[in-house]
Amino acid sequence: DVHETAAGALWNLAFNAGNAFRIVDEGGVPALVHLCSSSISKMARFMAALALAYMFDGRMDQIAMAGPYSDSVVKSVNIDDAKKMALRQIEAFVLTFSNPQSFYAAAASSAPASLAQVTEAARIQEAGHLRCSGAEIGRFVLMLRNPSPILKACAAFALVQFTIPGGRHAVYHANLMQQTNAQRSLRGAAAAATAPIEAKIFARIVLRNLEHHFGEVAI
């Protein structure tokens, strides 16, 4: 799929803050927003959202403050406007997997079935084939503590996809998360008073996924 190839390439490139700056300057944000909002491929929309999240999780800010390097980059794009556009689309993307009734039912119940219902509705089947590095998983874990509630929700949603039981690399991702003590960040996101309900429920699902995988390893 052409959309998936393009979104995946930009997601990989955007991990590096310098590349992210260049993508912004070349008009990449509107292109990714369009891809994230209109592609018929869930995977393309997912990876476009992750690329946008990488661009605006704060790492580019360090380059913007660096001085000489930034003088030659991002000449024609208003970063604040691009960030607002990106965050609006990330939020819209995550909300397409959010059913208020099932989310509030899950929030009010500790029954596994309520979380399972949300998980199945949110699952992107093809995302189970993605294999992330430790640095990538660590970045999403760190994003759970980002001041932006939208990025919190996006990070939790991504980690759901990477750890859902049955995914090709789910156990591998779970082990990476255990090494970074991700449970603390996940519990914090699940309990944060200011976090959107999507972030809270997705964080709880990831915790449940980790318990499942660690149980498998123990057996």
CB neighbour class for 147 (10 Å; exposed up to 12, middle 13-18, buried from 19): exposed
* Whether residue 68 has pLDDT greater than 80: no
**pTM reported for the whole predicted model:** 0.92
Lowest average pLDDT, out of 4-18, 160-174, 204-218, goes to 204-218
Same domain, 10 and 38: yes
Same domain, 116 and 181: yes
Same domain, 103 and 211: yes
* Whether residue 70 has pLDDT greater than 50: no
- How confident is the model at residue 65, as a pLDDT? 63
- How confident is the model at residue 219, as a pLDDT? 30
More confident of the two residues 162 and 194: 162
pLDDT tens figures, 12-55: 999 999 999 999 988 999 999 999 999 999 999 999 999 999 99
Same domain, 135 and 84: no
Same domain, 107 and 88: no
In whole angstroms, what is the distance from residue 214 CA to residue 116 CA?
18
Q: Which domain holds residue 126?
A: 98-218
pLDDT tens figures, 129-172: 999 999 999 999 999 999 999 999 999 999 999 999 999 999 99
- How confident is the model at residue 55, as a pLDDT? 96
Q: Is the dihedral of CA 102, 131, 39, 12 positive or negative?
A: positive
In whole angstroms, what is the distance from residue 11 CA to residue 57 CA?
13
Residue given tokens 């990831």 in the structure block: 206
- How confident is the model at residue 75, as a pLDDT? 54
- Split into its structural domains, the chain has a count of 2
